[in-house]
Amino acid sequence: MPAIPGVPKESGSAAHSSSGMPQLFQIAGISVAVVLIGAVIFWIMKSKSRPRAPASAETAAAEPLAPSPEAPVPAAPVHDATNVAAAVDELAKPWDSKKFTFANHLTQENIDAMVVRLPGGGLWAFSRQTPFGRCELEFVTDLGVLASQFKFNATHPMVVSPCEGTVYDPMKVGSLGGDTWTRGEIVKGSSLRPPISIDVKVNGRSIVADRIE
């Protein structure tokens, strides 16, 4: 630099020192910034590499498990009450009788029926509808009525068809053709066959209608 009168010259070392200080501060600041940026990048990379729990596991932890439905217990078989013809005590004596409804599961029909205690302890059940008509059969125990209205002298109760006056004898069996026989032989009248029979059996203290002819 040119010499200026009255102004002393700076030494070379002082000038060099003053000009180098800003550069040192810049370098130090850049170094600190680089270190901070490196630390942030390292933290981010480490967070991304950390394993996460599966979504299903998180859902299972967040929500309580619903109880599994119990398997249905099969209901015990129940006897069809409509096919209980009578209680054993109701037919304790010969010629005791009772009307009942037989549920025919094959045809889905409800059939008016009757069961009778026969002399000797046997049971006879039959459909109260005539086999080939719409007339309702009746069980007549009054021998005088049989004689006066149906003109038949009987020694025991009979089943009758009031429509055409047919009399069926519970103590006899009649033929259905071939080797087939059924109880209730026709002893008076023009019907074509005996009443339609229903099988019954004693089950405990009940008389149960099993099947129809």
When pLDDT is averaged across residues 95-100 and rounded to a whole number, the result is 97
When pLDDT is averaged across residues 126-136 and rounded to a whole number, the result is 89
What dotted CATH number matches 81-212? 2.102.10.10
pLDDT in tens, 20-77: 555 655 666 676 666 667 766 766 676 665 555 444 444 444 444 554 445 444 443 3
> Looking at residue 30, what is its pLDDT?
72
> Looking at residue 190, what is its pLDDT?
84
When pLDDT is averaged across residues 136-149 and rounded to a whole number, the result is 97
DSSP string, 160-174: EETTTTEEEEEEEEE
Instruction: Give the count of beta carbons closer than 10 Å to the beta carbon of residue 100.
Output: 20
Domain boundary assignment for the chain:
13-61, 81-212
When pLDDT is averaged across residues 199-212 and rounded to a whole number, the result is 94
Contacts of 161 (CB under 8 A, 6+ apart): 130, 133, 135, 137, 138, 168, 189, 191
Tokens 């180098």, residue? 20
Angle at Cα 211 formed by Cα 124 and Cα 164, nearest 5°? 55
The closest alpha carbon to 209, from 107, 61, 80, belongs to 80
Alpha-carbon separation of residue 78 from 81, 199, 209 (angstroms): 8, 20, 15
> Looking at residue 210, what is its pLDDT?
87
Tokens 């008076």, residue? 188
When pLDDT is averaged across residues 4-19 and rounded to a whole number, the result is 47
